[in-house]
A = this chain, B = another copy of it.
Amino acid sequence: MTSREQRPPQKWDVIREQTVYADRWVRVVLADVRLPNGRMYTYTTLWRVPGAAVVALNEQGEILLLQEYRHPLGEVIYQLPGGLVDAGETPLSTAQRELLEETGYEAEEWERLGSVQDNPGLIDGATTLFLARGLKRVTAPMPEWTEFHTVGWYSLDWVKERVKSGEMTDRAVLAALAFLCTRGM
């Protein structure tokens, strides 16, 4: 479709920005913007530290998932191994560090799958997903003192069933499935 009369969306002019909250994890900015129709609008924008996550597949085609209590949801949920990109790290080195710390595994092959944004209408918050294969358990998990989770291997069919039933809702798990789907897996 994209009919001829539609004008492509254009960038907005930012007149003024005010940080109303910031800590080591997030920043909340109120941006006074001029919209394409010339009117002014105050837009609430969040920024968070970028992250990386791991889609670790073993030779049986199973995926490594954590079960972890997530305080914002008040629930124990399934998640990919992963975490925030520390100073001096690349998303890949974060993914490799987090896989080892959270699960005790190392991988021989690493491939970038893509990245997922938390919520483009509100947040600048990207997580880069990596496919990890050739996995070897080299140590016991070494979680940080604020981390409590269990680790397990699950078949992709099992994961798909739980996505379908609504049990898996984390955007990174759903993005992993989308990326694997585009690769015919």
Residues of chain A having any CB pair with chain B under 8 Å: 1-2, 6-12, 20-21, 23, 25-26, 28, 31, 33, 35-37, 39, 41, 43-48, 67-74, 76-77, 79, 114-127, 145-146, 148-153, 160-161, 163-164, 166, 169-171, 174-175, 177-179, 181-183
B69 touches A45 (CB 8 A): no
Check B164 against A35 for contact (C-beta < 8 Å).
Answer: no
Instruction: For A173, give the chain B residue with the smallest CB separation.
Output: B178
Residues of B within 8 A of A79 (CB): 120-121
Whether the Cβ atoms of B122 and A26 lie closer than 8 Å is yes
Whether B179 pairs with A163 at a CB distance below 8 angstroms is: yes
Is A116 a contact partner of B169 (Cβ separation < 8 A)? yes
B169 touching A126, Cβ below 8 Å: yes
- Measured between alpha carbons, how far is A116 from B170 in the docked complex, in Å? 6
Give the chain B neighbours of A164 by CB distance below 8 A: 114, 179, 182-183
11 contacts between A and B (CB under 8 A): A2-B152, A9-B69, A12-B69, A39-B145, A73-B117, A77-B120, A114-B166, A160-B182, A163-B178, A174-B179, A175-B175
Distance of A70 Cα from B119 Cα, bound (Å): 10
Q: Which residues of B contact A124 (CB under 8 A)?
A: 72-73
Contact: B48 with A171, CB < 8 Å?
A: no
Residues of B within 8 A of A183 (CB): 164
Q: How far is the CB of A12 from chain B (nearest CB, A)?
A: 6
- Which of B12, B21, B71 sits near A71, CB closer than 8 Å? B12
